[in-house]
Structure 1
Amino acid sequence: MKNVSAKSKLLLAVVIFVVTFSKSFAQLSPPGLGEGKNASWFAFGVRQSLDSLKHKESTTYVGVGLKSSPDENNPFSKMAILVINEEISNRYSKNWEYSYALSYRRSNNYDSEAPYEELNPAIEQEFRLYGRYSYITEGNGLKWKNTVRQEFRKFFNPDSSNAEENFQLRTRFKTQLSLDLGSTKTHHIIGGAEVLFAISKENEPEKEWSKFDYKESRFTLYYSLTPHKTPFIFDVGYMYNLIGKGSDISDVNYLALDIIWKDPFGA
């Protein structure tokens, strides 16, 4: 894997600064797409209120991720992932929120060595269950949300046979701050930082458990537009993904765009 450049380290420092000193909006952040140089993520979602107080919500989205090989710059050159996700959330008190979700993901597998061709099998299927629990503080146009998320990930080959990795338990810790720009509350800046840890049950080369360990970090910076006269939210953002640790580390830059349709079936 390649070493992180001085330019990337400077960019990371800037993102952390914004996150540390920047109402939290649930943009549809990109999933990790593995090794590459640049990547892109596009998602369309529907968010529907489930009660009159708008404390309970359903968010359904479809997303597509593309990426470059590690030796090129084009973030649209290779298909990387298709995601279909359904999540139910409940803001049951002023400071606390929980959610649970079911997700299907279809990922493309590529060789880690040049010329980075598709592997055999070229596709890996994943079914994911996860739950989140969040503590939220807000006031004066600023919202700070801290979340722990636990995932169960089950993997299959395209023919539904067992993949090399049987299943994975993954724990994620995320902090996110959002700032309203102006009094109209239509323009927002959102910064986030997340670390991921995981343990896996392997099928190959032997049926054994890996050790529970740090896997990666993700840093996001978004601009969100929430017009009052239209039922759509528009999010444009950047994610910096650090994979691995120590001397075995790589980084990927993501461009992200998502659109969320609010309450199409009535509030």
Structure 2
Amino acid sequence: MRNFLNIKKTIITGILFMLFVSSYAQLSPPGLGKGNNASWFAFGIKQALDTVHKKESTTYIGIGRKSTPDDNNPFNKMGILVLNQEFSNRYAKHWQYSYALSYRRQNEYESSAPYEVADPAIKQEFRIYGRYSYLTGNSTIKWKNTFRQEYRKFFNPDFTKSNEDYQFRTRFKTQINIDLGTQKVHHLIGSAEALFATSKKYKPTSEWTKFEYKDSRFGLYYQLTPHEIPFTFDFGYGYNLIGKGSKISGVNYIAIDVIWNNPFGKTL
């Protein structure tokens, strides 16, 4: 039975990857660990920093909730609070770089039923990351491939050292944006991403873990960008495939995000 479930997950993963190999506004949900289902809502502000909209600032706050491994309610338990600030610059026709600072406050739970709050109950994280992207496409289809490098520093609720002190994580992502119609109001967005990491452990012993594959993330979004109002709306489904081999597991995500475009005018 377990082999059948693993085969099923592998097939689903392959189909998603073949069909859709951060869109331009979509705020992807973070990983929330093991569970069955999860939910994500984010509100962001995207502001042009120059007259040709090559340089932009994106600020957002997001909240994630999740089920336990024994239920399917994606709103059951508080998962994470995210505050994120990113600056990007499309300095050439096909090339873009970004850099960002992020604060994350993630709730921790015991790994066995009834999944009570763990000790410590909160893992705090400060993250610095940079992206480098290649963009191509035409008037209807846009394709973006991104390399992202992160440095993650973890703390307990009282800002003492977490058992996992810090982590270097590397991410590779490919994504596609398809305009549905000529008015550029309705869009279909798909993405696939693989994550690799190495961590510096503080407890039980001070040591480095192997740099290895951790998980994959897949997304399918419908995006609405009405011309009458300066907002972008994203409604999506995500699938987080965690681990590998006999330890593989998956989490389904429902996600909604809203972006307010250029609230301070066409440029700052």
**TM-score normalised by L of structure 1:** 0.96
User: In 1, Cα distance between the equivalents of 2:82 and 2:173?
Assistant: 21
- Which residue number corresponds to residue 36 of structure 1? 35
User: In 2, Cα distance between the equivalents of 1:24 and 1:114?
Assistant: 37
Over residues 30-81 of structure 1, what are the superposed CA-to-partner deviations in whole Å (9 max), with x where a residue is unaligned? Answer: 0000000000000000000000110000000000000000110000000000
Q: CA deviation at 1:184?
A: 0.2
- Which residue number corresponds to residue 87 of structure 2? 88
User: In 1, Cα distance between the equivalents of 2:115 and 2:3?
Assistant: 15
User: In 1, Cα distance between the equivalents of 2:4 and 2:26?
Assistant: 30
Q: Aligned with 2:33: secondary structure?
A: coil
Q: CA deviation at 1:25?
A: 2.0
Q: CA deviation at 1:106?
A: 0.1
Give the conservation status (yes or no) of the 8 Å contact 1:3–1:247: no
- Which residue number corresponds to residue 55 of structure 1? 54
- Which residue number corresponds to residue 140 of structure 1? 139
User: In 2, Cα distance between the equivalents of 1:172 and 1:32?
Assistant: 13
Q: Aligned with 1:199: secondary structure?
A: strand
CA RMSD of superposed structures (Å): 1.7
User: In 2, Cα distance between the equivalents of 1:66 and 1:6?
Assistant: 28
Give the conservation status (yes or no) of the 8 Å contact 1:43–1:257: yes
User: In 2, Cα distance between the equivalents of 1:121 and 1:99?
Assistant: 33
User: In 2, Cα distance between the equivalents of 1:26 and 1:175?
Assistant: 15
User: In 2, Cα distance between the equivalents of 1:180 and 1:134?
Assistant: 20
Q: CA deviation at 1:85?
A: 0.2
- Which residue number corresponds to residue 257 of structure 1? 256
Over residues 135-158 of structure 1, what are the superposed CA-to-partner deviations in whole Å (9 max), with x where a residue is unaligned? Answer: 000103101100000000000000
Q: Aligned with 2:20: secondary structure?
A: helix
User: In 2, Cα distance between the equivalents of 1:68 and 1:24?
Assistant: 27
Q: Aligned with 2:208: secondary structure?
A: coil
User: In 2, Cα distance between the equivalents of 1:249 and 1:266?
Assistant: 47
Q: Aligned with 2:259: secondary structure?
A: strand
User: In 1, Cα distance between the equivalents of 2:92 and 2:226?
Assistant: 26
Map of 1:188-199 to 2, 5 A cutoff? 188-199=187-198
Over residues 86-143 of structure 1, what are the superposed CA-to-partner deviations in whole Å (9 max), with x where a residue is unaligned? Answer: 0000011100000000000000001111111110110010000000000000103101
Q: CA deviation at 1:6?
A: 5.7
Find runs of 4+ consecutive structure 1 residues off by over 6 angstroms: none
Q: CA deviation at 1:231?
A: 0.3
Q: Aligned with 2:98: secondary structure?
A: strand
User: In 1, Cα distance between the equivalents of 2:9 and 2:111?
Assistant: 21
User: In 2, Cα distance between the equivalents of 1:234 and 1:42?
Assistant: 11
Q: Aligned with 1:206: secondary structure?
A: coil
Q: Which amino acid letter does the alignment assign opposite residue 262 of structure 1? A: N
Give the conservation status (yes or no) of the 8 Å contact 1:200–1:209: yes
Map of 1:170-209 to 2, 5 A cutoff? 170-209=169-208
Q: CA deviation at 1:9?
A: 4.4
User: In 1, Cα distance between the equivalents of 2:244 and 2:65?
Assistant: 24
User: In 1, Cα distance between the equivalents of 2:142 and 2:216?
Assistant: 22
Q: Which amino acid letter does the alignment assign opposite residue 202 of structure 1? A: K
- Which residue number corresponds to residue 111 of structure 1? 110
- Which residue number corresponds to residue 26 of structure 2? 27
Q: CA deviation at 1:12?
A: 3.1
Q: CA deviation at 1:8?
A: 4.3
Between the two proteins, the alignment pairs up a number of residues equal to: 265
Give the conservation status (yes or no) of the 8 Å contact 1:19–1:177: yes
- Which residue number corresponds to residue 159 of structure 2? 160
Give the conservation status (yes or no) of the 8 Å contact 1:111–1:118: yes
